[in-house]
Structure 1
Amino acid sequence: MVENAARLGKEKITKLLLSLSLPATVAMMVNGLYNIVDTIFIGKGVGALAIGGLAIAFPIQMLIMGFAQMVGIGAASAVSRNLGAKNYERAKFTVSNAYIMILLLSAVFALFGSVFVNQLLLVFGATEALMPYARDYIRIIFIGSVFFSFAMTSNSLIRAEGNAKVAMTSMIIGAVLNMFLDPIFIFIFKMGIKGAALATIISQFASFVFIITYMYSGTSFLKVGFHHLRPKWDIITEITAVGSSAFARQITGTIFAIVVNNSLKVYGGDIAITIFGIVNRVIMFLLMPLIGIGQGMQPIVGYNYGAQKINRVKEAVKISVLVSTTLAVFGWVIGESIPHIIIRIFTDERDIIENGATVLRIIIAMVPFVGIQFVGAILFQAIGKAAPALILSLLRQFIILTPLILVLPRIFNLGLTGIWLAFPIADILAVIITVILIKREMNEISLTQKPINTGSSK
């Protein structure tokens, strides 16, 4: 509990980062594997167009994730800093207010989405052929969104108190159960894409039950009393401000999906949308370890920033950049070496395999450098600086990539190729800006805050 969090300010940074990032990375990889397997089952059991339908519905699912991440990351940052400053009662109020927020937000979003599902899918680029698949999938996702949101928010809070293994277990339970249920519902019960959505909801409910059990087991700081269950607007404001960067990242991802899906519909049609649906899942899987590193870094930076141990903050950032870059290079080598084999896992259609392999190679061209951007965004979230965190969250997809997708195919007459080229261009520009902001922040905290000498961080 409190003692477990205190080690964030004492143990060797490399040991801490390993202990917190490894469970998060394993959990993210398992979750990413679930996304891959889910897409494979849909492609093989329902058809390639069903993958296109999934590509239309998935950004809406990302929007639900955005609300959960806004609350979870914003609250986790506040909890880490309050534990570091020994403000334990405020940390508990932060936890309770996070749950109040997520329950209300997810319920409102699920109701709105269920009522306006057809209109939403049209906005997200659904074609006549893809609409039935997307609608069947997302309707079921809406029903169980509250469990999905609760689990995601809780995992951020669990990591904030230093129990990364519990957060990992929660995610693994959901992902593994999902992979087990997918073939049962798709192939045995012949439920098609509806079966994939039902498997997702049942799996998230299982994670929900596990988290509730953990919270009231007596080993978690997250167990709050009834007197904590009342809104505190200053806490809600803090959670929203810090978490807004994570929410903005999902919102810009949603806006990006609207732009890219509709652009693909114009320049490439159903096949282009399907290819992007496959490639996007592959890239997400390759980048999952980087997200795990960031999640492991967040409580370390947040706690030590709150405790005024600035040298430990700097060391955590440096090591995280090194590790995330190494992992990014590893993923890039795999993607560039065997793209045809990767795409063939999802479909047997020759045109999709050939074109998909080329698209994958183009889109991941600058991936070796993106680890820096992941670390930069998490850094500013962890220290509670909402403005730069928001800028970095908006930077790649909204400020750079989305305009490029609109400009390159039309103004430069590059067509479909221009859409694919926009990705590596956006990656390298975003990384350059992130490096500048990180260096500036490291210089500022050295000048404006006096570290407390509590011993070596080594």
Structure 2
Amino acid sequence: MEENTNKLEDKKIGKLLMELSLPAIVAMLVQALYNFVDTIYIARGVGTLGIAGVSVAFPIQMIIMAFGGMIGIGGGTLISRSLGAKDVERAENALGNIFSAIFVLSIALTILGTIFLDPILNLFGATPDILSYSEDYMSVILYGAIFFSIAMASHNVMRAEGNAKYAMIAMIVPGVLNIILDPIFIFVLNMEVKGAAVATVLSQFVGVVYIGYYFLSGKSALKFHRKNFILDWHIMSETLAVGSSAFVRQVAGSLLAIVLNNLLGTYGSSLHIAIFGVINRLLMFFFMPMFGIAQGFLPIAAYNYGAKRYDRVKEVLKKATIAALTWSIVSFLLVQLFPGFLLSIFSTDPSLISEGIPALRIDTMFIWVVGFQVVGASLFQAIGRAGPALLLSMSRQILIFIPMVFVMSHFFGLMGIWYTFPVSDVLSALLTLFFVIRETKILNTLQKNQVQINNEEKEIEESYTSEGKHEYQPQEK
């Protein structure tokens, strides 16, 4: 499978970005679609309180997945840079460490989550009328923690070695299966919210079976070696440092949900928690293509940075930014023009739709800048710059949104909560712009230095060749 890694350095950037991004976009849209379907089925089969209960539990599920994403993205960029530097041994060492870390973390999360489930749900904003729904959902999801974590990590490893097609299949299979199983467990078996969780866990298990087939059948360019399952401090420290930015971004969403669920319960009601849950699922569908573009961008930028092809790093940054910005603008137009229709997909509750329309329009007022922010933060993950990557991942939701939402809600109540979204989008995009401009100047300097080194090496090689020709003259007979 070496041709998959070679193309990261040789193939035209536009075609390569499309080749790696499209499968990721399709797969993520399917993942978002089954979250859509989960919410729709729960709304029809259980009601608004069911949506609110799952909305409280869902951020906890996202934290579990965030651990897998942290290990997968951090280890994946390390694999890409190692392959770019032609260091296969280090890439395979990273692969073994990824799976060992995932196993330890997921078992720990299952045990701790099961023991402290009710306190965790209360922390995340579960009110007395929705607590039982949240318990039904999370009590099942926790037992599937290992499947979620393996899946999240493996998808990133597949893309890291240029195998986006297999990563797409590994995401689509459980997504489609979940859509099929949902109505069976929710309606036919009358398991309601718990049925949605069972369908999700079973679907992820099947996805992990396919992942096992991928790695053990020779589809991967990397091999498992027993010695690589022993955790290596140098490998893990770099993995966690780079992956921490992805972890913070996902966990920030969960922390944000804790704050919002509690504030919405204070300044609004369970209805507004449900509205936020629907908007969150809806925005996830629009954000997934942006994250898909970023997933296609990561291995290209990381590999070429490792190979010292800084010109290609800059080119893929430019093309990925244009693609993500274009989709951001399309998303903005859709949610602003058709908010009622989009909300009615999830629920027929007239109160949810009427109060959700202004909230959705306000929340997405500056959604068109999010695509740039996602790609810009991904640049620093790709090149192993843990500090800026972490800062940019924290900026929108932790450093800006959470402090601001307390202030805005204090002065403006419920409307202040909704208006915090566009303000945070603008400020985080400006911060990202500052760091990307600075890093682009550094890449320009590195490129000039590398061109000079290449020219010097070429001159030395030509001089040796020229001297050799003069020293050796064939004798006449």
Q: TM-score scaled by structure 1?
A: 0.97
Measure how far apart 1:217 and its partner are. Answer: 1.0
User: 1:123-162 CA deviation, whole Å, 9 max, x = no partner?
Assistant: 0010001100011001100001101110110000000000
User: 1:251-271 CA deviation, whole Å, 9 max, x = no partner?
Assistant: 222221111110001001101
Q: Which shifted more, 228-237 or 281-290?
A: 228-237
Cα pair distance change 1:199/1:222, threshold 3 Å: farther
Asked whether the equivalents of residues 297 and 317 of structure 2 are also in contact (C-alpha less than 8 Å), the reply is yes
* Structure 2 Cα separation of the partners of residues 16 and 215 of structure 1: 23
Q: Secondary structure at the match of 2:223?
A: coil
Partner in structure 1 of residue 210 of structure 2? 210
* Structure 1 Cα separation of the partners of residues 96 and 451 of structure 2: 31
Equivalent AA in structure 2 for residue 160 of structure 1: A
Q: Which shifted more, 220-229 or 269-278?
A: 220-229
Partner in structure 2 of residue 322 of structure 1? 322
* Pairing 1:2–2:2 present: yes
Measure how far apart 1:229 and its partner are. Answer: 2.1
User: 1:340-365 CA deviation, whole Å, 9 max, x = no partner?
Assistant: 11111111111111111111111011
Larger Rg: 2
User: 1:62-103 CA deviation, whole Å, 9 max, x = no partner?
Assistant: 110111111000000100000000010010000000100011
Q: Secondary structure at the match of 1:144?
A: helix
Q: Which shifted more, 270-279 or 223-232?
A: 223-232
Structure 2: any 5+ residue segments left out of the alignment? Answer: 456-477
* Structure 2 Cα separation of the partners of residues 186 and 256 of structure 1: 29
* Structure 2 Cα separation of the partners of residues 222 and 99 of structure 1: 13
Measure how far apart 1:228 and its partner are. Answer: 2.1
Which residue, out of 438, 441, 449, partners 2:439? 441
* Structure 2 Cα separation of the partners of residues 228 and 350 of structure 1: 56
* Pairing 1:422–2:420 present: yes
Partner in structure 2 of residue 250 of structure 1? 250
Partner in structure 2 of residue 228 of structure 1? 228
Partner in structure 2 of residue 239 of structure 1? 239
* Structure 1 Cα separation of the partners of residues 253 and 222 of structure 2: 30
* Structure 2 Cα separation of the partners of residues 109 and 222 of structure 1: 28
Equivalent AA in structure 2 for residue 29 of structure 1: L
Measure how far apart 1:452 and its partner are. Answer: 5.5
Asked whether the equivalents of residues 20 and 296 of structure 2 are also in contact (C-alpha less than 8 Å), the reply is yes
Q: Secondary structure at the match of 1:25?
A: helix
User: 1:402-438 CA deviation, whole Å, 9 max, x = no partner?
Assistant: 111111011xx21000000000000011101101110
Measure how far apart 1:222 and its partner are. Answer: 3.4
Percent identical across equivalent pairs? 46
Asked whether the equivalents of residues 308 and 452 of structure 1 are also in contact (C-alpha less than 8 Å), the reply is no
Q: Within 5 Å, which residues of 2 pair with 1:115-264? A: 115-264=115-264
Paired residue total: 453
Equivalent AA in structure 1 for residue 244 of structure 2: S
Q: Within 5 Å, which residues of 2 pair with 1:365-404? A: 365-404=365-404
Asked whether the equivalents of residues 185 and 191 of structure 1 are also in contact (C-alpha less than 8 Å), the reply is yes
Equivalent AA in structure 1 for residue 129 of structure 2: A
Query: How much is the aligned-residue C-alpha RMSD, in angstroms?
Result: 1.2
Cα pair distance change 1:202/1:452, threshold 3 Å: farther
Partner in structure 1 of residue 355 of structure 2? 355
Asked whether the equivalents of residues 310 and 446 of structure 2 are also in contact (C-alpha less than 8 Å), the reply is no
Q: Secondary structure at the match of 1:414?
A: helix
User: 1:24-65 CA deviation, whole Å, 9 max, x = no partner?
Assistant: 000011111111111000101111111000110011011101
Asked whether the equivalents of residues 158 and 222 of structure 1 are also in contact (C-alpha less than 8 Å), the reply is no
Partner in structure 2 of residue 270 of structure 1? 270
Asked whether the equivalents of residues 97 and 231 of structure 1 are also in contact (C-alpha less than 8 Å), the reply is yes
* Structure 1 Cα separation of the partners of residues 263 and 179 of structure 2: 32
* Structure 2 Cα separation of the partners of residues 56 and 270 of structure 1: 11
Equivalent AA in structure 2 for residue 421 of structure 1: Y
Equivalent AA in structure 2 for residue 414 of structure 1: F
Q: Which shifted more, 33-42 or 213-222?
A: 213-222
Measure how far apart 1:3 and its partner are. Answer: 2.8
Equivalent AA in structure 2 for residue 313 of structure 1: V
Partner in structure 2 of residue 298 of structure 1? 298
* Structure 1 Cα separation of the partners of residues 238 and 220 of structure 2: 23
Measure how far apart 1:444 and its partner are. Answer: 1.1
* Structure 1 Cα separation of the partners of residues 451 and 299 of structure 2: 18
Q: Which shifted more, 336-345 or 123-132?
A: 336-345
* Structure 2 Cα separation of the partners of residues 184 and 223 of structure 1: 39
User: 1:278-313 CA deviation, whole Å, 9 max, x = no partner?
Assistant: 011001101110000000000000000000000100
Asked whether the equivalents of residues 2 and 83 of structure 1 are also in contact (C-alpha less than 8 Å), the reply is no
* Structure 2 Cα separation of the partners of residues 387 and 210 of structure 1: 35
Partner in structure 2 of residue 69 of structure 1? 69
Q: Secondary structure at the match of 1:370?
A: helix
* Structure 2 Cα separation of the partners of residues 255 and 368 of structure 1: 23
Equivalent AA in structure 1 for residue 240 of structure 2: T
Asked whether the equivalents of residues 137 and 196 of structure 1 are also in contact (C-alpha less than 8 Å), the reply is yes
Structure 1: any 5+ residue segments left out of the alignment? Answer: none
* Structure 1 Cα separation of the partners of residues 442 and 67 of structure 2: 31
* Structure 2 Cα separation of the partners of residues 255 and 333 of structure 1: 28
Q: Secondary structure at the match of 2:346?
A: coil
